[in-house]
Amino acid sequence: MDLLEYQAKELFREIGIPVLPSQGINRPADLKSLQIPYPVVLKSQVPTGGRGRAGGIRFVENTIDAIAAARVIFSLSILGKYPQVLLAESRYDADQEFYLAVILDYTIGRPVLLGSTRGGIGIEVLIEDLQKVVVEENFSPFYARRLAVQMGLQGNLIESVSGIVQKMYQLFVQKDLDLVEINPLGISATGEVMALDGKITVNNNALGRHPELATLLSTTVNGNLEPQLPKSKLTETEGNIGILCNSSCLAATTLDLLYQKQGKPASCLIVEEDAIGNLHSAFSGEEQLKIALEKLTQAQGIKVILVNILSSAAKSKQVAEVIANYLLAQLEETPVLSVANRREIAAGVASSSRQQRTPLNTTAKQELASVKRRFSKSSLPQFVIRLVGGAIDSSQELLAGMPVYWMDNLDQAVGQAVSLAQSTVKKSRQKKG
């Protein structure tokens, strides 16, 4: 589970990682007794990414503006979560912004150091410049310096950044953590380093050895799927695109692309990555997916649902089957297609990523028309599904003829979702006119 930013920074401060003067704000009126000088930045404290893009981070110059901004942020849902506390923090002018992380790689069973000189920006851009150092044996300052050199740093920056990495690793080991991340690490014009934002992921299996972390987590509004997106808040936006992802970073990237393409997201649900990896466990990922799909399909105003899940081949196949079976179960009459025509329709129509479509035979056209008539009578939104890493041909065949679009490329998937949503709005206006 993830700690909130202000909780992560408390641990940073204890270990000696520099952080800015800050103060927790439980209600807007608390800003009348703010102890740090203006200008300050107000940050929504929710365990998700994409806060800046969503309006959850605001710079203010005085008390009046701060109170007004705080009222807006407290009422702002970010990826389906509402803050219980804000962080008021001194403003910092960074000349450069880096990304640093220490993460436990379960695949190789070793800690890994990550670093990039392109911090504070979209995750996909950052990954292009990401440097990695695997801690093969007992940790030593050599590993931290090696990462700094691979990042292309020189002079005093090698010492200052590698020093931060060493403290991050110390915290990582002391608290038995899964992740310690600083993004961005601000670098001033004079070379001063400052952790401007931080993320810490706690290993649930180690909480028995760290009661102080358990106490922090008890105050973190993180929860499972139900508390992530209160039902009463689901329809309080003017958007018409629902989003379903399996990580906060993926959701933030998806939202960024939607905003860039003038899309209007209504709600975003995140199915935890652990749940995706345990589709047959108690309260399994299958159940979480069904709950997410139910919330999005039943929400008023959502016309398109964009599914963006990144996982292994086997898990992606399972996810595709869950989605296909859910959609079929929502229809009063499951569409019946002959096996041959189902495959032909799936190859020629349902797979929207194909640029050239094979003409359908007469029987297939008739069955396809029947499927579309049945589906049009339902209130289900159109689906754009991006699953990376799995063979999902059987699921595509199951949903042949339905308004379901399978995509490999995220940019194309977002573009398709926005196009469908805009087309729906246009048709609705034409009917009213």
Whichever domain contains 408, its CATH number is 3.40.50.261
The predicted structure's pLDDT at residue 369: 58
Residues in the chain: 433
Say what the pTM is.
0.55
CB 184 within 8 A of CB 120: yes
Q: Is the dihedral of CA 54, 274, 84, 42 positive or negative?
A: negative
Q: How far is CA 433 from CA 89, 178, 300, in A?
A: 51, 56, 22
In this structure, is residue 246 part of a structural domain?
Answer: yes
**Partners of 87 in beta bridges:** 24, 43
* 233 and 186 in a common domain: no
Predicted confidence at residue 350, as pLDDT, reads: 41
Return left, alpha or beta for 187; rule: phi > 0 is left, psi -120 to 50 is alpha, else beta. Answer: beta
As a whole number of Å, the CA-based R_g of the chain is: 24
> Which among 243, 257, 238 is positioned nearest to 384, based on CA atoms?
243
What digits encode the pLDDT tens for the residues 192-214? 999 999 999 988 778 778 888 87
Same domain, 75 and 164: no
CA distance 56 to 52: 5
pLDDT for res 203: 85
Q: Are residues 253 and 201 in the same domain?
A: no
Residue 332 DSSP code? S
Q: How far apart are CA 272 and CA 189, in angstroms?
A: 39
| 79 close to 270: Cβ distance less than 8 angstroms | yes
Same domain, 201 and 237: no
Nearest to 265 by CA among 277, 279, 253, 276: 253
Below-70 pLDDT ranges, the chain: 121-125, 218-238, 249, 272-286, 331-379, 389-402, 428-433
How many CB atoms are located within 10 Å of the residue 393 CB? 15
Do 60 and 137 lie in a common domain? no
Structural domain boundaries, residue 240? 225-432
Specify the number of domains making up the chain: 3
Q: Are residues 397 and 249 in the same domain?
A: yes
Q: In this structure, are 263 and 408 located in the same domain?
A: yes
Same structural domain, 74 and 121: no
Straight-line distance from the first to the last Cα atom of the chain, in angstroms, rounded to the nearest whole number: 50
Q: Are residues 252 and 367 in the same domain?
A: yes
Per-residue model confidence (pLDDT) at position 234 = 33
Q: Note whether residue 12 is domain-resident.
A: no
How does pLDDT run across 55-108, given as a tens digit for each residue? 899 999 999 999 999 999 998 888 777 898 999 999 999 999 999 999 988 878
3-state secondary structure of 245: strand
The CATH number of whichever domain residue 167 belongs to comes to 3.30.470.20
The whole-number pLDDT of residue 228 equals 37
Tokens for 375?
Answer: 């589906």
The answer to whether position 13 is within a domain reads no
